[in-house]
Structure formats: structure tokens, C-alpha cells
Amino acid sequence: MTYNTLKWELQGTIGTITLSRPEKRNAISVEMIGELLAVLDEAEASAVRVVIITGSGKAFCSGMDIDGLLTIASQTPKDHLEDSERVAKMFRRLYTYPKPLIAAVNGAAVAGGCGIATLADFTLATPEAKLGYTEVRIGFIPALVAVFLKRQVGGKHARDLLLTGKIIDAAEAFRIGMVTEIVPAENLMARARQIAETLLSVSPTSVVRTKKLLAAFEEDALDAEIALAIQENADIRSTLDFREGVSAFLEKRTPQWKGR
């Protein structure tokens, strides 16, 4: 397949996905979600044993595309639900992917982009990388990422990040468990490939079965929590605070919250 929003490269049995919308700081679009799901399917069906995900340009992924925010304002409740389900499918696929995933975070990873970065099995980040879930700043709700974040960093750290919408540096992300390792920018991809080579040296059957077992431990709870998160993600879009938050963001002004 050919892709418009990402690049897919093979080096032996290591595949590299590069999010490739540098002019948009690799922001997530509907097309990117579809292509990311497609390339993951392609990799799963191939001889690839390890997948690396990184970003082009100065950012890893800045979250939802602004054009997408403009579209949301005119969507119907059915549209909201379908959009929420689409994003949830992407996150669930990354979190339960049967082959090892390594995220090489080369810059900012914000909101949904932070979700993509931290749902990998290994998350490497440069010292300059910034991470965070900024949804509450625009009257949105980090419902879908919350399902996974609380499992990774615990309740207190998850509340701190999700309720304040703050951005943290790579060192803090490493301290609380969002990042596996901090790597100088010039060594980032080499280190990702080094980890990939380590994974290639062990039994592929054992790796796949271990990942399948880890996913099975959480399957029922994930199903229930994701269903709840999808509904919340859709419902918040009909609130006055969401509409005000998006308008204020696009107009580069301070939001005047309505509280409803």
C-alpha cells in the first residue's frame, strides 16, 4: 500500500512507521487513523517481528488536527459517537498489538499523540520531548487515554496529568513511568533499533504469546472501560464548555467557561 500521512519502511524484519505530516506537527486526522490501522495490519500479516513508530520533523504527534476540531462543531451525535469509536479502535489496537511496538518520541507528544507514544511496549524519548494530555484546556475530556494511562502510571499521577492538562518534560515522564528510557536525539533511532535487535534474538513464539497473555489479563475490563470512555468522549462534544474551548483555542484567546 501507499500512504499519504505516514511512511512505512522495512529493514529486515524490523518495520518503521514514521508519522509524516510535519507541516501539521504530525497531527492526527481521520485519514491518519485509517492509515495507521492499515499499516499495523500490513505489518502483522508480514514477516515483520518488531515495529518502531516515530515522527517526522520536530514533533512526534501534536494530537488532533485543528481541521478536525473545526469539523466537530458541525457533527451530529451519531458522528460524535463514530469518531470516538474510531479513535478508541486505534488506541486499543496499539495497546494490544501482537508484535512488539517501540515508540521513538522525537519531540512533542500531546493529547492523542501522547496516547500513541505511550501505548507502545517501549517508549523512548529525547531529553527535549514534551508530553501531556491537554484535553481539559479546551473543554474536552481525556476519556479514551485515561483507560490506559491509569494502568501505566497509577491513579494519582493519572489524575495529576488529566485534570490539570499540564505538559511535562521527558525526565518527569520517565520518573512516573510514561517513558521507558531517555535517549539523546542523535541516538534515538539507533537505540530503537538496538532494542528491536534484542527482541529479534529471543523466541518470536514466546514474545507473541506473552503479549497475548498480557492482553488477555485485561480484556474484559478494557472492553467495559473503553465502551464507557467512547460514550463520554462523544457526549462532551455537545457541551457549551467544549464549544467555547474549541472556539477560544482557534481564536487564540482565553476561554470563558460556562460550566455546562
Instruction: Report, as residue numbers or ranges, the catalytic residues.
Output: 135
According to DSSP, the residues that pair with 123 across neighbouring strands are 103
Q: Cβ contacts of residue 88 below 8 Å, gap of 6+?
A: 144, 226, 229, 230, 233
Ramachandran assignment for 12, one of left (phi > 0), alpha (psi -120 to 50 degrees), beta (any other): left
Residues in the chain: 260
Q: Within its chain, how far is the Cα of 123 from the centroid? A: 11
